[in-house]
Amino acid sequence: MKALVVSFMSGLLALGSAGVAAGEETTPGPGPELPGWLSEIDVHAFLSVGFVHDFNDPDSDVISQRFFDFKNDEFRVDDFQFSLLKAAEAPGEAGFRFDLDVGSNIPDVIQSAGLFDDPDGEDIDVRQAYVTYIAPLGNGLTIDFGKYITAFGLEVIEGWPGFNDNYSHSYDFSFAIPFTHTGLRLTYPVNDQFSLMFMAVNGWDKVDDNNDAKGFHGQVAFFPMENVSLYFNYMGSPEQADNDDDWRHLWNVVWVVKPFPATIPALTFSGDYTHGREDNVGIGGREAKWHSFEGVLRYDFTEKFFVAVRGEFMKDEDGARISAGTEQTVWAFTITPTFLVTDHLVVRPEFRYDESNADVFEDDDGAFTEDSQATIGVNVIYYF
């Protein structure tokens, strides 16, 4: 094999020498053209790193009742996302989306049941993977089939399309609603003011269903005027293993409003309210109920700097959602200044205070004796 390679290279050199001697053009010609379909695929990336300090100094170094920024006094790679996207924009067009996430926080937390073999989760997750087709029906019926992020809630699982106004996530996002669904999604824009969406899915955060029933989710989006957006969501599904009878119901309304567009255009008020209940899962097998609310005031001082203040509460009536078996009502206040350093670089420090009517926060001795918790943190994002 080595002799063949040497002979081949010698032949190339000889041909090159002959060409130069004869005065032939030695400038290489154009390379092979890329397939046309490749130029239609968008490539995106997102990187989030952070650090959080809990003034309770929990002995376990786990910040109580946090779902994403849960490690105390550690620099963390929250998430790195790589995304491929072929957009479908008009009736008759097809496309796809694929989001791959790796990191120490987000991928493990949002991972759907059945996606990987390890029941304890992995630091890698296929956040979304779905095919899209816009059927030429009326204004265009968008059909998505695969795994995708839920339509519930004000906040998003952050990635290249956008990030939340606050670094830490609310109780509503972390404990009251699902993260992703796997199944069929239909979206239809009725007109400029109304849009309808329907899903038939495996349930909450499940790639492999744990029973024989499906979940059904509907949304009505309403845009009554230029500066008001409203979203009304409902989902019903049996979520318990091998149980098709005891249903979980979830109602949610989301709003994004500029209350004074003429006089204070830099001010935005957004928020959501969620009510959920599930049969036969509460303490003693009774019905479990939960309520959550968050409101965010954001003021854009300049194009490169804004401050978001969030107030929230969640009432977990039966201890079924936040801390297993602990009935509690918890409040939280968060302030997040955000600096848009460049078009792609974001820096945001944050202060947050949580308080519960139960002793649910860990102290420096490893005991859960505290009814409040204060944290400071910083998050840096780069995306394109």
What is the residue-wise DSSP string for 210-277?
SSS--EEEEEEEEEEETTEEEEEEEEEEE-STT-SSSEEEEEEEEEEE-S-TTT-TTEEEEEEEEEEE
- Structural domains in the chain? 38-383 (2.40.160.10)
Which pLDDT value is given to residue 19? Answer: 40
What's the pLDDT tens digit per position in 161-202?
Answer: 999 999 999 999 999 999 999 999 999 999 999 999 999 999
What's the pLDDT tens digit per position in 366-382?
Answer: 999 999 999 999 999 99
Q: Judging by beta carbons within 10 Å of its beta carbon (0-12, 13-18, 19+), is residue 241 exposed, middle or buried?
A: exposed
Which pLDDT value is given to residue 284? Answer: 72
Largest Cα span, the chain:
94
Which pLDDT value is given to residue 144? Answer: 98
| 180-189 vs 141-149, strand pairing mode | antiparallel
Residues 355, 43: contact at Cβ < 8 Å? no
Q: What is the pLDDT along the chain (384 residues), one digit of tens a residue?
A: 434 333 433 443 343 333 434 444 455 566 667 677 778 899 999 999 999 999 999 999 999 999 889 999 999 999 999 999 999 999 999 999 999 999 988 888 888 888 876 555 568 999 999 999 999 999 999 999 999 999 999 999 999 999 999 999 999 999 999 999 999 999 999 999 999 999 999 999 999 999 999 999 999 999 999 999 999 999 999 999 999 999 999 999 999 999 999 999 999 999 999 999 999 986 678 889 999 999 999 999 999 999 999 999 999 998 999 988 899 999 999 999 999 999 999 999 999 999 999 999 999 999 999 999 999 999 999 999
Which pLDDT value is given to residue 12? Answer: 37
Residues 330, 313: contact at Cβ < 8 Å? yes
Where do we find the tokens 């039966």? Answer: 318
Which pLDDT value is given to residue 67? Answer: 86
What is the Cα–Cα distance from 379 to 338, expressed in whole angstroms? 9
